[in-house]
A = this chain, B = another copy of it.
Amino acid sequence: MSADVRAFQWPLRVYWEDTDAGGIVYYANYLKFFERARTEWLRSLGLAQSELAAQAGLVFVVADVHLRYAAPARLDDALQIQLRLQDFGAASLQVVQHAWLTDAQGAPVTLLCEATVRAGCVQAASLRPARIPAEMRTRISRWAAG
């Protein structure tokens, strides 16, 4: 993925709840961090998942994740989660997400974890694949076009 693909950025902080007895962020918790960033990316486009569920009966479920851990994060670390759209189909989308340790100014300095995440749009009741609503498609496409 070329460096000039548009990125959404979301800051977060490492709390006690995120760490384990090894003194570092527990490996499963990066999936929480990445999910928060996807949710905030959609919210930044005016798309709340609770409304998508209530109004259209649709939810996004993750189908495939590839995680590569590069360095550990610790209590009180300030992180930046980046999200880039990699693929966008009728019923699914794929994003690449990076978790960075940031410096005191909030600039990313050390890569912690990289993930490729594919999520599908499904009917909440049946969990069967469903087309992403047109309005949502438009907003995401416009964002990607920058």
Contact = CB atoms under 8 A, between A and B. Distances in A.
Interface string A5-39: 00000000101110111111011110110011001
Interface of A: 13, 15-17, 19-24, 26-29, 31-32, 35-36, 39-40, 43, 48-51, 53, 59, 61-69, 72, 74-76, 124, 127
Contact of A35 (B17, B50, B53): B17
Q: Which of A26, A39, A68, A74 has the most CB of B within 10 A?
A: A26
Nearest to A76: B50
A36 B75 CA distance: 11
B21 A28 contact: no
Contacts of A43: 76
A61 B65 contact: no
Contacts of A64: 66-69
A31 B23 CA distance: 18
Contacts of A53: 22, 75
Contacts of A32: 15, 17, 28
Contacts of A20: 16-17, 19-21
26 contacts: A13-B40, A15-B35, A16-B21, A16-B35, A16-B39, A17-B26, A17-B35, A21-B74, A21-B75, A22-B53, A22-B59, A22-B124, A24-B61, A28-B29, A28-B35, A31-B31, A49-B76, A50-B75, A53-B75, A62-B69, A63-B68, A64-B67, A64-B68, A65-B65, A67-B67, A72-B127
